[in-house]
Amino acid sequence: MRALVVRNTSPATREAYARDVWRFIRAMGDPQAMTGEDLGALTQSQMRRWMADLRREGLGKASVGRALSAVKSFYHHASETHGIRADVVRAARGPRAPKPLPRPLSEKDAAAVLTMTGLDTAHEWIALRDTAVLTLLYGCGLRRAEALSLRGADAPMGEALRIIGKGNKERMIPVLPLARQAVDAYVAACPHPLTKEGPLFVGMRGGALNPRLVSGAMQTIRAAMGLPDSATPHALRHSFATHLLSAGGDLRAIQTLLGHASLSSTERYTEVDETRLLAAYEQAHPKAL
């Protein structure tokens, strides 16, 4: 049972999966004596004990999850090629790895980003376009896809903007004067006709703006400012939430502005704020802790 198929993965990933599967089979019994029937007769308690052993050996939750994914891939292949099924493997759930905390920019860096667009273009209207998009991400907390889904009819913008977010959920977002001005400046300079039903943000030839170009603009700014790789377009949305919370914003209100279905998603920003406060305290009082 050494065959293992893992589609669309690198050689290193395939090797890691193969090691995980071989380690699993050895944990279940003698690999030389095990039959296909043995592999298909695993119990739930065996699966739990195997994952618990991995944790005791020092593997993190993410590593255990990867090992379980490898085993499931192996059994999927074994089922297709040898008819070996193990429902307990298919139903097994790995430990939940903690989601990494959002990594926002500082208020100073976020503000500077909005003045640094157009570094790699000779076209003023493209610089104004990129400024407008990034300003909506930081000033309104929009997702990149939400900003690029805006229509020509959304400009000029009023004091509030209607957004259709994930799950077709609608929310109203206040629009700061700075964001309205950035969009107005782009619209006035855009050489392509913007129709009410067409995209508000367009590319060089007038078609809908490719999301990768927004990431590319941010990458250029990141390199010029010496920012970490975490300074992505989405980090501007994180920055919007974190800075609003730091200024005393209500958590429920921020949840509404971000379009989060669950308050727990928004609560992650309180952890970011606490982490930043602790870091500042330790820097100011290094001997206090």
| Residues acting as catalytic residues | 143, 166, 234, 237, 260, 269
SS3 category, 164 = strand
Residue 30 tokens, joined:
């003698």
Phi-psi sector, 83: left (phi>0), alpha (psi -120 to 50), beta: left
Cα dihedral 227, 230, 233, 235 sign: negative
Are 137 and 211 a contacting pair, CB within 8 Å? no
Tabulate helix, strand, coil % of the chain (nearest 5).
Answer: 60, 5, 35
Q: Rounded CA gap, 267 and 272, in Å?
A: 9
Residue 6 tokens, joined:
């893992």
Q: Rounded CA gap, 47 and 50, in Å?
A: 5
Are 17 and 5 a contacting pair, CB within 8 Å? no
174: cis peptide before it, omega within 30°?
Answer: no
